[in-house]
Each structure stands twice: as C-alpha cells, then as structure tokens.
C-alpha cells in the first residue's frame, strides 16, 4: 500500500512550505533516508527526507507551489502501483508559475557602460544552450529567477550548475562577470557617447513582489513584538579605539597563520558578540523573558545575532556564549553565517535565544534601535566606529573613535535601570577589551 509523504513542519511558525526543487522524479527508486525534495520554509531552505523504501509513484505538486503543513507532496509505493487520490493541497502562489517570463530588452548596436542594475544581455559566446529546460519551462531556484527578472536576464540562455541542471545564483554571478568582461573588451574598440551612457541608467518601475514565506514570518513576529512588548530605548557612547587596537593586534599576529596553527581573523562583530555575552554575566537580569504569569531568568546566554540574506533576515544562535572563548565565538559565528547565506540553518540553530545583537556598523550606520526578538528582554544595536573630535581626560580636543550602542528593552521584563547597568558594563568591557580574554 502506498505511503504519502507530507509537507513537514520544519519550524514552530511554519504553516506552509514552498517546494522549490524535486530531487527525485516520478518512477525513481527511493530508500529510507533519501532526500526527495527541497522545501523553502519561513526561515530556510531544507531537504525533505523519505522514510520508506520503494518507488516515487506520484508527485502531488510542482516546483514553485506552496503546500500547507501536512499536505501531501508525494506518494511512495511499489512499481506500477496506483497512487492514492488526495485533495489538491497545493496553492500556486509563485510568480514563476502564474506569469510569463519578462520580455527581454532590445540590445543596441554599440555597447554602453555596464551598470549593476541595468538589464543584462547574455553574449552568445558566454554560455551554452541551457540543459536546465524541461519542455518550455526553465529550471531555476526562486532566488535565481528573482535576480534574473530584476536584471532582465534570459534564463533559457543559461546552463545551470545545480541539481539536474537547475540554475542557481552562482550561475548568474558568473554570467554577470562574463558580460562585464565582454563589455569592457568592446569598449576598447567603441567609444560611448554621453547620451548613450545616460540611457543605460536604470529608472524606477512599478513592481508587485510576491511575499516569501520568510518575509511573512518576519512580518508576523516583529509586528507581534512591537505591538505586544512596550519598547523603551537607551543609548551609550563608547570609546572604540581600544577595541580597534586589540582587533588590529590580534589579526596582525594570527591572520596569516595556517588554521591548523591557530590562524584566525577576528571581525568587529566577533568582538562585540563576545563582549555582550560577558556583560550579561555582570547584569544577569537582562537575560530574561516574559512568560505571562512569570518572568524567566535564563541560566545561559543563548546569543542570537542578525544575518541579512537575500530575501530577509535570520538570527542564528550561539548557545551558552558566556562560556565560550573569543575564538570559539568567532568560529561558531562564521559557521552560522555561512549556513544562513546558504539557507542551510536547522530550526534549532535559529530559535530559543535569550538575547540578541544586531550590527549595522559595516554599512556606516552610526546609531539605531532594533525591534526586540521574541521572547528576549532586550536587543543590542551596534553602530559604526566613527572618527571625530572629542575632549580627552586632559581637556584637550583630539581625534577619537566613538561607537554608539543602542538598547531596546521590553518594559514588561526590565526597567531602564537594568538596561543602563548593562550598557555601563558593556562600555567598561569594550573600553578595556582585554577583560573578555580572561
């Protein structure tokens, strides 16, 4: 008797999943432990495992379709066995299945200066005819399709390097590099007039962008946090020079060493994550959460940090960060960031945090306040280190490096005094950063 494979619940907030890629075709033999499909959840792209031996006799949904949690996606049985009938659970909400491919832009006789956001025409010599097409349909990941649509790239011209010839983001990046080289070579022969260059500047356009499962999850969680948790805001200014000097000294001594000999390169994010966990040890009241009838104080710092990815934001978690060395925090953060950008984070790697740090300093943002990550008591917002005139302890005006750090607190759980105590503890550690190495 055939067994139905259902859309699994891969996160606490997941209600639907988008089947982005079939790894097995109808008629393929499958065994217990085989991965049969890739599913996009509200937080990541994950593989669906088969727990039966047999043959994949039926696929109940197409790539790009949404299926509710518990809805049938496939049937496993014996060769020649009829698949059981199921109610149509899939709801196709993807633009790739409901709208035609965008019209390709006309090319001009003379090449113009390449602009990142301008439509890209793929030279014939750059790619072979695609093996990623199935009938009239091009196999491409949702991210690759979105990039291609925004850049005006004809996916039918591209040979995919993903599973079963599927086009992925890396294929488009290779195309962009090849196009850039092709245009630069042409520019050596043909001069472009100012009028032609101006025409290549992208213009504003109306777009209806489908809301991904991840964006729906982010919207729901943050609206709930902002409306249910009464936020209050504090800010402190820190001398960023000692932290910058420590990072420079550590990297000068360690960055060039082989990894097996202790080589490592620390980022500002690594140092601030370690410092924030150390400060919580001094002010444990910040490490709490609202539980309705009780306020829970956590015995460990499960430290979340924001990672921006192509279609949203995820917050992977470093468990028991207060007990880990700077090197351990750095290695774990880098591993989690890599997984996040590849959409390979497991649900338990991005849930259950007790405190969150978000950093926009790398974008030049000097000060901001984040929205609290449910069910944390607070979120720390790290700004850029800025050089500016300051007055030193001798009343002299000198060039200093200042860093502004914001804290958003949940007034149900903590009061302003607790937030202020925490920021003062953090300031002391950042201005004497050797304290976090002992």
pLDDT top residue among 12 and 339: 339
3-94 is classed CATH 2.40.110.10: no
| Mean pLDDT on 306-317 | 87
pLDDT recorded at residue 305: 96
Least-confidence region, from 189-198, 302-311, 353-362: 189-198
pLDDT recorded at residue 144: 75
pLDDT band with cut points at 50, 70 and 90 for residue 202:
low
Q: Where are the domains of the chain?
A: 3-94, 97-199, 214-437
Q: Is the pLDDT of residue 113 over 80?
A: no
Predicted confidence (pLDDT) per residue in 10-33, tens digit: 766 678 888 888 999 999 999 888
**pTM of the prediction?**
0.62
pLDDT recorded at residue 322: 95
Residue 411 annotated as catalytic = yes
Q: Is the pLDDT of residue 283 over 80?
A: yes
Q: Is the pLDDT of residue 99 over 50?
A: no
The overall longest dimension of the chain from CA atoms, in Å, is: 88
pLDDT recorded at residue 184: 52
Q: Whole-angstrom Cα distance, residue 30 to residue 5?
A: 12
Predicted confidence (pLDDT) per residue in 176-193, tens digit: 555 555 445 444 444 444
Neighbours of 260 (CB within 10 A): 6
Per-chain mean pLDDT for the chain: 80
Q: Are strands 35-40 and 54-59 parallel, antiparallel or unpaired?
A: unpaired
Share of the chain above pLDDT 70, in %: 79
Please name the CATH architecture into which domain 214-437 falls. Answer: 2-Layer Sandwich (3.30)
332: Cβ contacts below 8 Å, ≥ 6 apart: 318, 324
Predicted confidence (pLDDT) per residue in 229-254, tens digit: 999 999 999 999 999 999 999 999 99
pLDDT recorded at residue 94: 40
Predicted confidence (pLDDT) per residue in 53-82, tens digit: 899 989 999 888 888 888 889 999 888 888
Neighbours of 141 (CB within 10 A): 25
Q: Which of 119, 56, 117, 60 is nearest to 91 (CA)?
A: 60
pLDDT band with cut points at 50, 70 and 90 for residue 105:
very low
Q: Whole-angstrom Cα distance, residue 10 to residue 48?
A: 10
State the SS3 of the chain.
CCEEEECCCCCCCCCEEEEEEECCCCCCEECCCCEEEEEECCCCEEEEECCCCEEEEEECCCCCEEEECCCEEEEEECCCCCCCCCCCCCECCCHHHHCCCCCCCCCCCCCCCCCCCCCCCCCCCCCCCCCCEECCEECECHHHHHHHHHHCCCHHHCCCCCHHHCECHHHHHHHHHHHHHHHHHHHCCCCCCHHHHHHCCCCCCCCCCCCCHHHHHHHHHHHHHHHHCCEEEEEEEEECHHHHHHHHHHHHHHCCCCHHHCCCCCCHHHHHHHHHHHHHHHCHHHCEEECCCCEEECCCCCEEECEEECCEEECCEECCHHHCCHHHHHHHHHHHHHHHHCCCCCHHHCCCCCEEEEECHHHCCCCCCCCCCCCCCEEEEEEEEEEEEEECCCCCEEEEEEEEEEEEEECCCCCHHHHHHHHHHHHHHHHCHHHHHC
User: Per the structure block, which two tokens stand in for 277?
Assistant: 């966990």
pLDDT recorded at residue 417: 96
Task: Judge contact between 413 and 290, C-beta under 8 A.
Answer: yes
Query: Which of left, alpha, beta for 27 (phi over 0: left; psi -120 to 50: alpha)?
Result: left
Q: Is the pLDDT of residue 271 over 80?
A: yes
pLDDT recorded at residue 88: 61
| Mean pLDDT on 80-107 | 53
pLDDT recorded at residue 176: 59
């Amino acid at each position: 008797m055939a067994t139905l494979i259902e859309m699994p619940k891969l996160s606490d907030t997941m209600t639907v999943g988008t089947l982005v890629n079939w790894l097995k075709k109808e008629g393929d033999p499958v065994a217990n432990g085989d991965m049969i499909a890739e599913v996009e959840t509200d937080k990541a792209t994950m593989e669906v495992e088969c727990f039966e031996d047999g043959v994949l006799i039926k696929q109940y949904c197409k790539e790009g379709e949404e299926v509710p949690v518990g809805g049938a996606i496939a049937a496993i049985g014996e060769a020649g066995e009829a698949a059981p009938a199921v109610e149509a659970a899939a709801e196709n909400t993807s633009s790739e299945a409901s709208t035609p491919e965008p019209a390709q832009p006309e090319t001009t006789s003379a090449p113009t200066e390449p602009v990142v956001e301008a439509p890209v025409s793929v030279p014939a010599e750059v790619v072979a005819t695609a093996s990623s097409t199935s009938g009239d349909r091009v196999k491409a990941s949702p991210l690759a399709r979105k990039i291609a649509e925004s850049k005006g790239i004809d996916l039918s011209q591209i040979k995919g390097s993903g599973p079963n010839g599927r086009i992925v983001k890396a294929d488009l990046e290779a195309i962009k590099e090849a196009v850039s080289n092709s245009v630069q070579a042409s520019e050596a022969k043909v001069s472009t007039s100012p009028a032609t260059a101006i025409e290549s500047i992208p213009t504003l356009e109306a777009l209806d962008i489908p809301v991904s499962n991840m964006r729906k999850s982010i919207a729901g969680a943050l609206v709930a946090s902002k409306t249910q948790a009464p936020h209050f805001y504090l800010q402190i200014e820190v001398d960023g020079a000692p932290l910058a000097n420590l990072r420079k000294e550590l990297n000068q001594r360690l960055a060039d060493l082989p990894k097996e000999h202790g080589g490592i390169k620390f980022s500002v994010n690594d140092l601030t994550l370690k410092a924030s966990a150390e400060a919580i040890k001094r002010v444990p009241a910040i490490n709490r959460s609202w539980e309705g009838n009780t306020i829970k104080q956590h015995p460990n710092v499960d430290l979340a940090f924001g990672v921006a990815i192509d279609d949203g934001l995820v917050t992977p978690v470093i468990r028991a960060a207060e007990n880990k060395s700077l090197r351990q925090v750095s290695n774990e953060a880098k591993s989690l960031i890599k997984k996040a950008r590849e959409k390979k984070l497991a649900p338990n790697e991005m849930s259950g945090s007790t405190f969150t740090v978000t950093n926009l300093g790398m974008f030049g943002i000097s000060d901001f306040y984040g929205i609290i990550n449910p069910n944390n008591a607070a979120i720390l917002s790290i700004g850029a280190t800025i050089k500016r005139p300051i007055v030193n302890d001798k009343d002299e005006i000198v060039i200093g490096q200042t860093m502004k750090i914001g804290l958003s607190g949940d007034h149900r759980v903590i009061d302003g005094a607790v937030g202020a105590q925490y920021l003062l503890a953090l300031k002391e550690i950042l201005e004497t950063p050797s304290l976090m190495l002992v």
